[in-house]
Amino acid sequence: MTYDGRGLRFGTVAEQYDLYRPPPPREVEAIFGDLRGSAVLEVGAGTGKWTRLLLELGATVTVVEPDDDMRTVLVRRSPEAHTLKGVAEDLPVDDASFDAALVSSAWHWFEQPAAINEMARVLRDGGALFVLWNGFSRDVPWLDELTALRERPDDVHKRPRGWGVGFDAESDFEGESDIEVNWTWTRTIDEVVSLFGTYSGAIIRGDDDRRAMERAVRERLETLATDGAVEIPMTVRGTVAHRRARS
């Protein structure tokens, strides 16, 4: 997880990230199925927004998170999780030691094929890999306009956010299926402005540039809000696949 260190700068806004990033909607519980007693690895867990759901579903959770500040928040919020410092490309866990692995809104920061090879190494035969993104719905014109404000037009280092993972015929994974869960998130204008401050495109800006972005977001939201709140169409999308049996 390198990419000029950009993926490791979220810790500078760790508390804000935990407060304002979207949580997983309850509708995604059906994606995971029965996790009671399952050993689940979450990679790139941030402050643990999804960790909390996994724990609520009865999983025994091990977290690998590279950023010290993000991990500090996660430990405070989810002390029952086993938390490790590490990266997706070199996971500090044993071979074939997990029933499932989750990556939420972090896959695009990983270097491939190292990360996918590590997922295959640590999962037991038949273990599930969940690669999910939880974000603004696409093909909603006003949301597309709003989303464009979070990136600098001249940012050559921005990394595209994905909506799924493809596996070739030689992959250690099989049976992949695409996931799509639509939900609605009600936020105040202030909450959405604060949310925008947690995106990498905002974190790398100078103070003046970031304040200008926040003003633009606020002005756009004021034309959309009802009683100071905005109904935001959200989507959880991604891919679920299973580890092939080792020969």
Q: Mean pLDDT across the stretch 20-48?
A: 97
What's the topology of domain 3-139+152-186+233-243?
A: Rossmann fold (3.40.50)
Element (H, E) at 185: strand 173-188
Residue type, 239: T
Least confident of 12-26, 31-45, 73-87: 12-26
DSSP 20-85: HSPPPPGGGHHHH---TT-EEEEES-TTTHHHHHHHHTT-EEEEE---HHHHHHHHHH-TTSEEE-
Contact indicator for 76, 104 with CB cutoff of 8 Å = no
* Over residues 171-192, mean pLDDT: 95
Q: Which residue has the tokens 């921005």?
A: 158
Residue of 6 and 200 predicted with greater confidence: 200
Order across the sheet with 123-136: list the strands: 82-84, 60-64, 39-43, 98-104, 123-136, 229-243, 173-188
Tell if the pTM clears 0.75, that is, is over it.
yes
The reported pLDDT for the residue numbered 160 is 54
Per-residue pLDDT of 147-161, as tens digits, reads 988 765 554 444 455
Amino acid at residue number 93: V
Q: Assign 207 a pLDDT band (cuts: 50, 70, 90).
A: confident
d(C-alpha 66, C-alpha 46), whole Å:
9
When pLDDT is cut at 50, 70 and 90, the band that residue 66 belongs to is: very high
Q: How many CB atoms lie within 10 A of CB 141?
A: 7
The pLDDT tens digits of the residues spanning 98-144 come to 999 999 999 999 999 999 999 999 999 999 999 999 999 998 999 99
Polymer length in residues for the chain? 247
* The pLDDT value given to residue 164: 77
The confidence score (pLDDT) of residue 210 equals 82
Cis, peptide link before residue 113, omega less than 30° from 0: yes
Beta bridge mates, 234: 136, 183
Gap between the Cα atoms of 173 and 83, Å rounded: 26
- Name the residue with higher pLDDT: 143 or 206: 143
Dihedral sign, Cα of residue 8, residue 9, residue 12, residue 18 = negative
Q: What is the pLDDT of residues 76-85, one digit of tens each?
A: 999 999 999 9
